[in-house]
């Protein structure tokens, strides 16, 4: 069965950096676009970034462009996001999700999420 | 403020039917597929509908999706208390070059 497990969340000071990881299993990882989606406490879903199966294509929300970098290691079935210059408004649960086959904008499997808190 | 507009809340009695609307524009819903997600309290979102009206394996046919012009609708029949959740629509916005979600609708049964 498909599983996605995020890790790496925690408390970080404004201006700091953090790297989140997502380990996938149960499917051929390299065949799918993967994405990061976040949810601030008590708020709705916000798409953050996606990456194609071969890492050829990436895209970012304007709110994180220039500060976040998405990457993947298909040999390890792992997805990453390097977050720098963190701001309090980046505080959220970060989910990794798999895009449906042939799509970049529908997501059929989600991890349980990892909490990132940006505060002094 | 999202480019996709959903009602903040809807309610209906057990066994009844409810619809949740998602209104957008020609840069998003009007020219892209719509997906719908259910988020039960304290859990990750779950895909209910993709490509406007397709259900993933394991999603009961009580859930349906439709799209007309720049609006989409999620329908749920035979409501159960276990359907109480937040529901989100999502799509691609060509003007923003980004995936966008509605602000969510809280369903009370």
CB contact under 8 A, B45 and A110: yes
Closest to B32 in 3D by CA, of B73, B70, B74, B87: B70
Are A45 and B90 within 8 A, CB to CB? yes
Decide if A16 contacts A67 (C-beta within 8 A).
Answer: no
Query: Of all residues in chain B, what percent carry a pLDDT higher than 90?
Result: 98
> Torsion angle of alpha carbons A89, A91, A93, A98, nearest 10°?
50
Inter-chain touch A44–B99, beta carbons under 8 Å: no
Instruction: Provide the token pair at A27.
Output: 């499917």
Closest-CA residue of A relative to B106 is A44
Name residues 57-116 of chain A within 8 A of B (Cβ). Answer: 59, 61-62, 95, 100, 103-113
Structure confidence at residue A104 as a pLDDT band (50, 70, 90): confident
CB-facing half-sphere around the CA of A86: CA atoms within 13 A: 23
A53 — pLDDT class (breaks 50, 70, 90): very high
Averaged over successive runs of 10 residues, the pLDDT of chain B (109 residues) comes to 94 97 97 97 97 96 97 98 97 96 98
Contacts of B66 (CB under 8 A, 6+ apart): B52, B53, B72, B73, B75
Cα dihedral B85, A112, A3, B54, rounded to 10, equals 30
- Across the A:B interface, residue pairs with CB atoms under 8 Å apart total 63
Q: Is the pLDDT of residue A4 over 90?
A: yes
pLDDT(A103) > 90: no
Q: Do A106 and B102 touch (CB under 8 A)?
A: no
Measured CA to CA, the distance from residue B80 to residue A120 in angstroms comes to 44
Which among A59, A95, A100 has CB closest to B50? A100
How large is the C-alpha radius of gyration of chain A?
13
Q: Which of A96, A105, A110, A111 to mutate to test the interface with B (most CBs of B within 10 A)?
A: A105
Q: How far is it, in rounded angstroms, from Cα B50 to Cα A28?
A: 21
The token duo for B55 is 């259900």
Per-window interface: B 10-29 vs A, CB < 8 A: none
Tell me whether B40 touches chain A (CB under 8 Å). no
> Closest Cα partner for B5 from B100, B108, B107, B109?
B100
* CB contact A42 to B (< 8 Å): no
Angle, CA A108 vertex, CA A102 and CA A113 arms, to 5°: 125
Integer Cα distance of B19 and A2 in angstroms: 30
Give dist(CA B106, CA B109) in Å, integer: 10
- Condensed to tens digits (0 to 9), the pLDDT of residues A11-51 reads 999 999 999 999 999 999 999 999 999 999 999 999 999 99
């Amino acid at each position: 069965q498909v599983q996605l497990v995020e890790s790496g969340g925690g408390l970080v000071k404004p201006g700091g950096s953090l790297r989140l990881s997502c380990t996938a299993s149960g499917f051929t990882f390299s065949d799918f676009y993967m994405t990061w989606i976040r949810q601030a406490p008590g708020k709705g879903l916000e798409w953050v970034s996606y990456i194609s199966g071969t890492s050829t294509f990436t895209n970012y929300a304007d709110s994180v462009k220039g500060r976040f970098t998405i990457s993947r290691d298909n040999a390890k079935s792992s997805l990453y996001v390097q977050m720098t210059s963190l701001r309090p408004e980046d505080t959220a649960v970060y989910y990794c999700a798999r895009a449906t086959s042939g799509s970049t904008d529908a997501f059929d499997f989600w991890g349980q999420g990892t909490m990132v808190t940006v505060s002094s | 403020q999202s480019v996709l507009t959903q009602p903040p809340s809807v309610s209906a009695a057990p066994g009844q039917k409810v619809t949740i609307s998602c209104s957008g524009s020609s840069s998003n819903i009007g020219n892209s597929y719509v997906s719908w997600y259910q988020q039960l309290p304290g859990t990750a979102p779950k895909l209910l509908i993709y490509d406007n009206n397709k259900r993933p394996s394991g999603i009961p046919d009580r859930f349906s999706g439709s799209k007309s012009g720049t609006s989409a609708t999620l329908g749920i029949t035979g409501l159960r208390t276990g359907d109480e959740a937040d529901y989100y629509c999502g799509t691609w916005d060509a003007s923003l070059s980004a995936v966008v979600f509605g602000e969510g609708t809280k369903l009370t049964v």
